[in-house]
Amino acid sequence: MGRYPNDMVVDARGRAFVGNFGFDLMGGAPIVPTRLVRVDPDGSVTPAAEDLWFPNGSVLTDGGVLLVDETFGNRVTAVDVAEDGSLVNRRTWAEFGALPFTREVAGALPELVVAPDGCGLDAEGALWIADAAHGRAVRVREGGEIVDEVSPGLGVFACGLGGADGRTLFLCAAPDFDEHARSAAREARLLSVRVEVPHAGRP
């Protein structure tokens, strides 16, 4: 499959679309593209999409479009989910910049305009995205326009809309994403902020 499993989303038929690191992030390996896989309810695993740069946070729109954050790709990719679970009509949903020139993580991070990590969809079709490289969550419209931003003073690595009315934006925040540093200290926080447009789609 390609290193460690990453974020996933499950559709109404119980099919899970799962990303993965593609390389040994914490071991200092160079960045390489990887695949998204589909795990069906019977447990079978099928490659679903190739050549993704660290497929991360994912959502499904009510219209059956899968949006996948590519953390080291400077972009969000969209694909349509066909009846049989295959992914078709791949296109760029939002592009924030070019692919990083270097394949070393430390050098690539400064090249990322937005490093899209976890995300959540709202009822206007905009995506709240945790920007793993810049300590913020951004609200993005299709095409890449950033229309709102929340900066809590920590790194933000996941976000999603919830609460009784779907208008609470939850943020998973920590000083950094280094697993060795994070396992040695309890500095992560779950934060929340109220927003105007409620949740939509899956999850």
Q: Is pLDDT above 70 for 46?
A: yes
Q: What's the rounded mean pLDDT across residues 101-118? A: 94
d(CA 11, CA 19): 15
130 and 120 in contact (C-beta within 8 Å)? no
Q: What is the CATH code for 5-194?
A: 2.120.10.30
* pLDDT at site 180: 77
The domain ranges of the chain are 5-194
> What six digits make up the tokens of 172?
């998973």
Q: What is the pLDDT of residues 10-41, one digit of tens each?
A: 999 999 999 999 888 888 899 999 999 999 99
**3-class secondary structure, 177:** coil
Residue 50: what pLDDT? 96
